[in-house]
């Protein structure tokens, strides 16, 4: 991985003004540097994708499926190198890095299967009116820009890249500048598979590169996963071009624990929802709503479980949680610890950065957090859990829905009828009942309110890259 960008089937050095430093967050030290793409190179990537589109969109669905299966197989062949890179650049524990890779492989395999099931280009549409015939065509939306975040590199890009290629789109992918290396595997795989030049292009860079891509007039669609602040800028760019956009943004999700739930089992689900990837998840269930009847039993056990999590360098230690991925995120989480002290919040566990090399913080639990607290309302993106008590089911639903976000939620209850009823009442895109956050490629991903626009995964992920055309003919 000595070159930075994959454009028109060739690896090229960056010509931009930004130097990207790639860090090991467990050490707080850089281990690689890349030069960002210039605006001219973004233009070249979009032009390459535009030139490749006519041929690629007319490739048969079975041929595209074979390419996607090739991506899945090639990811598997690079398994150990990619797992190690996830651990080194993201700070993920090995078991999390393994799941990330398996997720990416499963995504390409799934969309290969969907591609094979695509109907022919034309489907007759019955009409009530005589004298006319009609047919429907599902066509690729065109050239798409994909901008992906640093918390789940390889995975989020697979969620976008696989359905885009399955639909017949050509792609310009911009990874995060925090984790720019692992997506280069997709360019290497494209080379190995003989993917036509320009079908997949990869440009790395910081804000300048992202803006050049999101503002580019040569795109037909933009798909972005990241923060709400950047997402709003992406949406403004899309509106100026009047083109479709998919946005997967932030969350401040609730986990609701009723008093009929086994406390130890609830603790397992709660800890997983806030400590996975060191809490750096848009889906982190960082608002704990616990019913009065179980709170006094549950909270001490939860405190002990968080205190007992093994935090350390995943490359040298057996750990449950690694560091935060960037120094910027480490400083942000530290600022929320300071805010909690200023607000006088009751800290049951953690609440501090760890005094060791690297960007580590302690898994944290605050109890009886006021609804007005910044820690209750704002997305922190770290292992910081805020708890409040509730009395009734209606109160739990109202509190869970009282957020500008609406990505996910978890419901924990032995009364499955109630759990299903609460799941239906929650204003979110995905609900887990009595489970960790298991995400399956067959299900949809996306949220309501400020958590974004559109859906990824499942058949909805494929349709996001398809355009519907109707042809009506007079028979007279």
Could you tell me what percent of the chain has a pLDDT over 90? 95
Instruction: Over range 63-79, report the average pLDDT.
Output: 98
Give the integer Cα–Cα distance in Å for 160 and 202: 13
The pLDDT, as a whole number, for residue 476 is 81
- Which pLDDT score, from 0 to 100, does residue 81 have? 97
Query: Hey, how many other C-beta atoms are within 10 angstroms of the C-beta on 95?
Result: 12
Domain architecture of the chain: domains with CATH: 5-249+451-474 (3.40.605.10), 254-440 (3.40.309.10)
Q: What proportion of the chain, given as a percentage, has pLDDT over 70?
A: 99
Label each residue of the chain as H, E or C: CCCCEEECCEEECCCCCCEEEEEECCCCEEEEEEECCCHHHHHHHHHHHHHHHHHHHCCCHHHHHHHHHHHHHHHHHCHHHHHHHHHHHHCCCHHHHHHHHHHHHHHHHHHHHHHHHCCCCCEECCCCCCCEEEEEEEEECCEEEEECCCCCCCHHHHHHHHHHHHHCCEEEEECCCCCCCCCHHHHHHHHHHCCCCCCEEECCCCHHHHHHHHCCCCCCEEEEECCHHHHHHHHHHHHHHCCCEEEECCCCCEEEECCCCCHHHHHHHHHHHHHHHHHCCCCCCCEEEEEHHHHHHHHHHHHHHHHCCCECCCCCCCCCECCCCCHHHHHHHHHHHHHHHHHCCEEEECCCECCCCCCCECCEEEECCCCCCHHHHCCCCCCEEEEEEECCHHHHHHHHHCCCEECEEEEECCCHHHHHHHHHHCCCCEEEECCCCCCCCCCCECCEECCEECCECHHHHHHCCEEEEEEEEECC
Round the average pLDDT of the chain to a whole number and report it. 96
Count Cβ neighbours within 10 Å for each residue of 350-377 and write b for 16 or more, e otherwise.
bbebeeeebbbbbbbbbbebeeebebbb
CB 428 within 8 A of CB 447: yes
pTM score = 0.96
Minimum mean pLDDT among 15-19, 72-76, 403-407: which range?
15-19
pLDDT in tens, 292-337: 999 999 999 999 999 999 999 999 999 999 999 999 999 999 999 9
- pLDDT score of 4: 86
Q: Which of 282, 379, 386, 412 is catalytic?
A: 282
Would residue 285 be called left, alpha or beta, if left means φ above 0 and alpha means ψ between -120 and 50 degrees? beta
pLDDT band at 121 (very low <50, low <70, confident <90, very high): confident
Tokens linked to 310: 């093994």
- Cα 16 to Cα 182, 315, 332, 387: the distances in Å are 20, 32, 28, 46
Quick check: 434 pLDDT over 90? yes
Range 252-270 average pLDDT: 98
Catalytic residue among 96, 177, 183, 248: 248
* 82, pLDDT greater than 90: yes
Check if 399 is active-site. Answer: no
474 catalytic? Reply is: no
Q: Any idea of the CA torsion for 321, 326, 328, 332, to the nearest 10 degrees?
A: -10
Count of CB atoms situated within 10 Å of the CB of 167: 27
**2, pLDDT greater than 60:** no
Q: What is the pLDDT of residues 141-156, one digit of tens each?
A: 999 999 999 999 999 9
432, pLDDT greater than 80: yes
Give the model's pLDDT for residue 119.
73
Phi and psi at residue 253, to the nearest 5°: -85, 155
Supply the Cα-derived Rg of the chain in whole angstroms.
Answer: 23
> Is residue 43 exposed (0-12), middle (13-18) or buried (19+ Cβ within 10 Å)?
middle
pLDDT tens, 207-238?
999 999 999 999 999 999 999 999 999 999 88
The confidence score (pLDDT) of residue 122 equals 80
Quick check: 246 pLDDT over 90?
A: yes
- Structural tokens at position 203: 């440009």
β-sheet with 452-453: strand ranges across: 10-12, 5-7, 200-202, 170-174, 143-147, 221-225, 245-248, 452-453
Give the model's confidence band at 3: pLDDT under 50 very low, under 70 low, under 90 confident, else very high: low
């Amino acid at each position: 991985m000595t070159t930075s960008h994959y454009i028109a089937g060739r690896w090229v050095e960056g010509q931009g003004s930004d130097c990207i430093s790639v860090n090991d967050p467990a050490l707080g030290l850089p281990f690689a540097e890349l030069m960002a793409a210039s605006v001219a190179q973004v233009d070249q990537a979009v032009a390459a994708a535009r030139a490749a589109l006519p041929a690629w969109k007319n490739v048969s669905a079975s041929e595209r499926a074979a390419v996607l299966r090739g991506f899945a197989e090639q990811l598997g062949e690079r398994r150990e190198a990619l797992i190690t890179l996830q651990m080194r650049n993201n700070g993920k524990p090995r078991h999390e890095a393994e799941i990330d890779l398996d997720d990416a492989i499963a995504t390409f395999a799934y969309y290969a299967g969907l591609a094979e099931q695509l109907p022919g280009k034309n489907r007759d549409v019955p009409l009530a009116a005589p004298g006319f015939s009609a047919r429907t065509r599902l066509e690729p939306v065109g050239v798409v820009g994909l901008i992906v975040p640093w918390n789940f590199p390889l995975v989020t890009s697979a969620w976008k890249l696989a359905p885009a290629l399955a639909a017949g789109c050509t792609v310009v992918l911009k990874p995060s500048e925090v984790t720019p290396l692992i997506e280069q595997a997709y360019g290497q795989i494209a080379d190995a598979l003989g993917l036509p030049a320009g079908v997949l292009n990869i440009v790395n860079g910081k804000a300048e590169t992202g803006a050049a891509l999101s503002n580019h007039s040569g795109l037909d669609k933009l798909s972005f996963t990241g923060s709400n602040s950047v997402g709003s800028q992406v949406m403004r760019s899309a509106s100026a071009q009047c083109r479709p956009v998919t946005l997967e943004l932030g969350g401040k999700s609730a986990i609701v624990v009723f008093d009929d739930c086994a406390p130890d089992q609830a603790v397992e689900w709660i800890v997983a929802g806030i400590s996975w990837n060191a809490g750096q998840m848009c889906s982190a269930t960082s608002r704990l709503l616990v019913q009065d009847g179980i709170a006094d039993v549950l909270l001490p056990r939860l405190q002990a479980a968080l205190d007992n999590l093994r935090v350390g360098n995943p490359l040298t230690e057996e750990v449950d949680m690694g560091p935060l991925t960037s120094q910027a995120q480490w400083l942000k989480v530290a600022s929320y610890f300071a805010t909690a002290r200023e607000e006088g919040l009751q800290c049951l566990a953690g609440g501090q950065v760890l005094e060791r090399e690297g960007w580590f913080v302690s898994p944290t639990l605050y109890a009886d957090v006021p609804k007005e607290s910044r820690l209750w309302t704002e997305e922190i993106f770290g292992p910081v859990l805020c708890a409040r008590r509730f009395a009734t089911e209606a109160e739990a639903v109202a509190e869970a829905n009282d957020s500008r976000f609406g990505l996910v939620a978890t419901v924990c209850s032995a009364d499955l009828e109630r759990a299903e009823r609460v799941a239906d009442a929650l204003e979110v895109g995905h609900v887990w009942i009595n489970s960790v956050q298991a995400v399956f490629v067959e299900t949809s991903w996306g949220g309501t309110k400020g958590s974004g626009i559109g859906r990824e995964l499942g058949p909805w992920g494929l349709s996001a890259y398809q355009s519907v055309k109707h042809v009506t003919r007079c028979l007279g």
